[in-house]
Amino acid sequence: MSRLQTRMATAVAVTALAAAPAFLGVFSITLLNYIGIYALVALGLVLMTGIGGMVSFGQASFVGIAAYATAWTSALMGYSPWLGLLLALVMTGLVAAVIGAVTLRLGGHFLSLSTIAWGLAIYFSFGNIDGLGNYNGIASIPPISIGSHSLADSADIYYLIWGALIAAMLGTHNLLNSRVGRAIRALRGGNALVESLGINAFQVRLVTFVAAALMAAVAGWLYAHMTRFISPTPFDVHVSIDYLMMALVGGSSHLLGAVVGAALVTLMKNYIQDLLPLLAPNTSGRLEIVVFSVLFILFLQRARDGIVPYVARWLPPPRQEFPGKAEPLPRRRQPAKGTPLLKVDAAVRRFGGLVAVNEVSFELRAGEILGLIGPNGAGKSTMFNLITGALRPSGGKIVFAGRDITRAAPRHIARAGIARTFQHVKLRPRMSLLDNVLLGLYPRTSAGYVASALRLDRAEERRARHEAIKQLERVGLGARPFELAGNLPLGNQRILEIARALAADPILLLLDEPAAGLRRREKLALAELLRSLRAEGLTILLVEHDMDFVMNLVDRIVVMDFGCKIGEGAPQTVRNDPRVQEAYLGGVA
Ligand code: ADP
Ligand code: MG
């Protein structure tokens, strides 16, 4: 499908949506209204679960908080539904922030399990608060009105519902293609990388969680004023599971998945409810749940990624423009060459009984390349993890640029100017080369959620993209920035990590076996790159196995073996040191 065809398809879809009330009966429009409201909740789940990797079984309770907030405001207190919207957003946002702050630190399944707990708790409190009508609910909720026009008819509130959904989709779409959006997309796959890039993973999770809850809140507000009556039932945990199902069935990695999933699940439920009594007249109403569950299991077996990815294959790839010229981002001032930059003082790290790093001390001066060598298991990567804060030292002290970073968090160390690569490559394989490098630029940019959703971040984004392309070109990967990182050969993935590290404009660059998996010619190019970086004043700490590579490049070498430092000096001195030869080079160098 060409771009023009997509535009036309979109135009047809929007026109069809806009014209629907003129052609469809009240029943169909009401169904579309429900689909729109559910899709809004599912959209939040696509964002937080499908893209951000946080599973929530409690989304219906956010819908409920908003619905009750606005019902209380308008039906019980007699104020405008718009004031109800405000209260709904504030209440839901606050509750989500508190719940998020408490539970989002829990890793893995604990988070999902806790969502069931608070989902239940909130559901039961609706039924047990006297002022909210207990299990009888709240009736005679007034319709929303815009000016003097009341949206009491389903055909009227239809436009508000679908307008809100489309606005939320546009905002989410913009968000995902922004600085914070990339951070959200990077959350899946663990905190280690995200934090090493100076990103506060907890904060990104929390705000994403609250954003999803706010979408549920708007849905709850619309729901209350559409149905004009609420009780606790539609906010029960099993409804949360329906929402999750919608996101999954539609395709939780794609925004359209929310709409497709909501439509499909709603229509199917409707259909099954109509059909079952005909097929099995004497069964209770619960049978539909069984049928639905079976269908869902079949679905998960056959099409785990949902429906939209199937369809998306025929859609044109998103437009990818080569970033044009833009004003460069401000850079850090590098310390004067030769000033002491990093001081590792008797660093110790134990793993149970194993001493992986044993009282190792060394210093790094600005503008030099220091090689850290030693046989496998000597403790080199552990040393890197101590310096970057990925591991806490069991003893000793590490000072960087005059600041004690011994117990600092990785993201603070990253922001202080230490950038690293990983021995076991940590990229986001399903993000493009460009997006992976842009992740490295996170601390140098500042656009927040709201600015990004409204596309107010474009000037900064242009500068960031320009810079990212520059770094890709610099390491020799500038030709195809929109390629997925996972498609690169492993050697080039390491090089991509270097581009990402350079994007952070570091003072100190830590490279863990960067030449592994490179061909000879690529190694020469890498050595050339590192030399030019040094010439610009960057300081580099390098772990590498290829002795030729190290010896011709570095200014000094530190040798480790079994966690201890066993030698230090200029490459030639170290090469001739008998202790080093015995331990590391097996006496044959
Ligand atoms: P190198 O990078 O020099 O090959 P490492 O620093 O990766 O060595 O490992 C040093 C020693 O510490 C090894 O014996 C390794 O098995 C052990 N080690 C490293 N990380 C851990 C960990 N997270 N838990 C337990 N042992 C570890
Ligand atoms: Mg290692």
CATH number at residue 359: 3.40.50.300
538 and 489 belong to one structural domain: no
DSSP string, 11-48: HHHHHHHHHHHHHS-HHHHHHHHHHHHHHHHHHHHIII
How many domains would you assign to the chain? 3
User: Does residue 284 register a pLDDT over 70?
Assistant: no
pLDDT given for residue 285 in this prediction? 60
Question: Which residues are CB-neighbours of 3 under 8 A, at least 6 positions away?
Answer: 316, 319
Mean pLDDT, the chain, rounded, equals: 90
44 and 125 belong to one structural domain: yes
Decide if 350 is inside a domain.
yes
**What value, to the nearest 5°, has the Cα angle with vertex 405 and ends 400 and 406?**
120
Residue 490 alpha carbon to ligand 1 centre in Å: 22
Residue 377 alpha carbon to ligand 1 centre in Å: 6
pLDDT given for residue 178 in this prediction? 95
pLDDT given for residue 194 in this prediction? 95
pLDDT given for residue 586 in this prediction? 56
**Where a domain ends, among 265, 294, 312?**
312
Per-residue pLDDT tens for 427-454? 999 999 999 999 999 999 999 999 999 9
Decide if 544 is inside a domain.
yes
pLDDT given for residue 290 in this prediction? 77
pLDDT given for residue 585 in this prediction? 57
Please give the Cα distance from 241 to 239 (Å, whole number). 5
145 and 292 belong to one structural domain: yes
Domain with 131, as residue range(s), is: 27-312
Segment 303-327 shows an average pLDDT of 76
443 and 401 belong to one structural domain: no
67 and 127 belong to one structural domain: yes
Residue 383 alpha carbon to ligand 2 centre in Å: 9
pLDDT given for residue 6 in this prediction? 74
- Mutate which of 349, 350, 354 to test ligand 1's pocket (most atoms within 8 Å of Cβ)? 354
Which residues lie near ion ligand 2 (Cβ < 5 Å)?
380-381, 423
Please give the Cα distance from 545 to 511 (Å, whole number). 12
413 and 473 belong to one structural domain: no
Q: Is 377 in the pocket of ligand 1 (CB under 6 A)?
A: yes
Q: Is 65 in the pocket of ligand 1 (CB under 6 A)?
A: no
Nearest ligand 1 atom, CA 374: 3
Decide if 20 is inside a domain.
no
Q: Is 378 in the pocket of ligand 1 (CB under 6 A)?
A: yes
Q: Is 310 in the pocket of ligand 1 (CB under 6 A)?
A: no
User: Does residue 157 register a pLDDT over 80?
Assistant: yes
Percent of the chain with pLDDT over 70: 96
Decide if 333 is inside a domain.
no
Strands (E), 181-270: none
* 50 DSSP 8-state letter: I
Q: Is 376 in the pocket of ligand 1 (CB under 6 A)?
A: yes
Please give the Cα distance from 2 to 314 (Å, whole number). 10
User: Does residue 587 register a pLDDT over 50?
Assistant: no
Decide if 260 is inside a domain.
yes
Q: Is 391 in the pocket of ligand 1 (CB under 6 A)?
A: no
Residue 566 alpha carbon to ligand 2 centre in Å: 17
pLDDT given for residue 1 in this prediction? 56
pLDDT given for residue 321 in this prediction? 76
407 and 298 belong to one structural domain: no
177 and 289 belong to one structural domain: yes
86 and 43 belong to one structural domain: yes
pLDDT given for residue 588 in this prediction? 43
**Where a domain ends, among 505, 535, 554?**
505
User: Does residue 201 register a pLDDT over 90?
Assistant: yes
**Where a domain ends, among 480, 505, 530?**
505
pLDDT given for residue 283 in this prediction? 62
68 and 214 belong to one structural domain: yes
Per-residue pLDDT tens for 539-572? 999 998 888 889 889 999 999 999 999 989 999 8
Decide if 288 is inside a domain.
yes
Residue nearest to atom 24 of ligand 1 (CA): 351
* 138 DSSP 8-state letter: B
Segment 158-177 shows an average pLDDT of 95
Q: How many other CB atoms sit within 10 Å of the CB of residue 89?
A: 19
Decide if 3 is inside a domain.
no
Q: Is 414 in the pocket of ligand 1 (CB under 6 A)?
A: no
Please give the Cα distance from 101 to 149 (Å, whole number). 41
Decide if 11 is inside a domain.
no
Residue nearest to atom 15 of ligand 1 (CA): 377
Q: Helix, strand, coil proportions of the chain in percent (round to 5)?
A: 60, 10, 30
197 and 263 belong to one structural domain: yes
Residue 218 alpha carbon to ligand 1 centre in Å: 50
490 and 516 belong to one structural domain: no
Nearest ligand 1 atom, CA 379: 6
CATH number of residue 141's parent domain: 1.10.3470
